[in-house]
Amino acid sequence: MPPILPWIAHIYTALGAVIALLATGMTFAHNFRAVFICMVAATFVDATDGVLARGLKVKERLPNFDGAKLDDIVDYLMYVFIPALVVWQADLVPSAFPICAAIVLSSAYGFAQGDAKIASTDYFFTGFPSYWNIVVVYLYVLHLPQMANAIILGTLAVLVFVPIRYIYPSRTIVLKWPTLALGTIWAVVFTWIIWRLPAVDGPWTMISLVFPVYYVALSLWLQFRR
C-alpha cells in the first residue's frame, strides 16, 4: 500500500473541521439553512470515516497519529460549538451567552470523560451525548418561545453530568436492527426538513420526532432495567 493512502482517512476526517469553518461563516451571515446542511455533511463524514480508516488500516500504518483525538476535535466543533453559535446568532434564547456557555462547557466535560463517549463493554453513551446539532435544528424549525428553548437547552446541559446511559444507535445490541431502520428513516426525513427550509409546513417535523422519542424511551428503559 502506498504510504500516502492511510493519510487519506485522516484528511477525510479533518474535512469536518473545514466544514465547521464554512458553517461558522454561514452562521454569522444568518444563513442557517446552509449551516444545517453543513451539519448534515459533517455527520455523513463522521459516519463514514471509521469505515475508511479501518479499510486503510491506519492504526497499524500510522501508529503515532491519534485519529480518535482528531475525530473528537471535529465532533466538538460540529456537534457543540457550531450549534451553540447558532443558538446565539438565531436568537433562540433570551440572553444567549449564559446558555451557550453552558452548552460548550458541559460538553467539554462530556468529551473529556473517558467513559462518556462509549461504554465500551456494551456500547452506550454516558450522559447526554451532545446531540446539540439535532436539538438546535428542531428548536429552529419548531419556533418555540425563547424561554422554552432556554429551559430545554439548560436541562440538556445538566443531563451531560447525569450518568444515564443513552443507546449508541449503530452499536447497542438491544433492538439494534429496529433502531437502525428507524434511524435511517429519521435521517432521510430530517435531511428533507432541512432542505425545505425556510418552509416548515407539512407533517415532516412531527413524523421525524418519532425516532427521538423512541431513542429516549429505549435508553431510559434499558437504564432503569439495570
Q: What is the pLDDT of residues 7-24, one digit of tens each?
A: 888 888 999 999 999 999
CB-facing half-sphere around the CA of 99: CA atoms within 13 A = 26
Position 114 scores a pLDDT of: 67
Position 66 scores a pLDDT of: 83
Position 173 scores a pLDDT of: 87
Q: Is the pLDDT of residue 120 over 70?
A: no
Global confidence as pTM? 0.92
Rg (CA), the chain: 18
Rounded to the nearest 10 degrees, the angle between the axes of helix 67-76 and helix 96-112 is: 160
pLDDT confidence band for 117 (50 / 70 / 90): low
Are 142 and 87 a contacting pair, CB within 8 Å?
no
As given in the structure block, the three cell numbers for residue 153 are 437547552
Position 33 scores a pLDDT of: 97
Q: Higher pLDDT residue, 222 or 226?
A: 222
Are 136 and 100 a contacting pair, CB within 8 Å?
no
What's the mean pLDDT when you consider all of the chain? 91
What mean pLDDT do residues 191-207 have? 95
Are 42 and 97 a contacting pair, CB within 8 Å?
no
> Can you give the CATH number for the domain in which 151 is found?
1.20.120
What mean pLDDT do residues 133-142 have? 97
Domain count, the chain: 1
Q: What is the pLDDT of residues 141-188, one digit of tens each?
A: 999 999 999 999 999 999 999 999 999 888 888 898 999 999 999 999
Q: Is the pLDDT of residue 39 over 90?
A: yes
Are 100 and 135 a contacting pair, CB within 8 Å?
no
For residue 16, the enclosing domain spans: 5-225
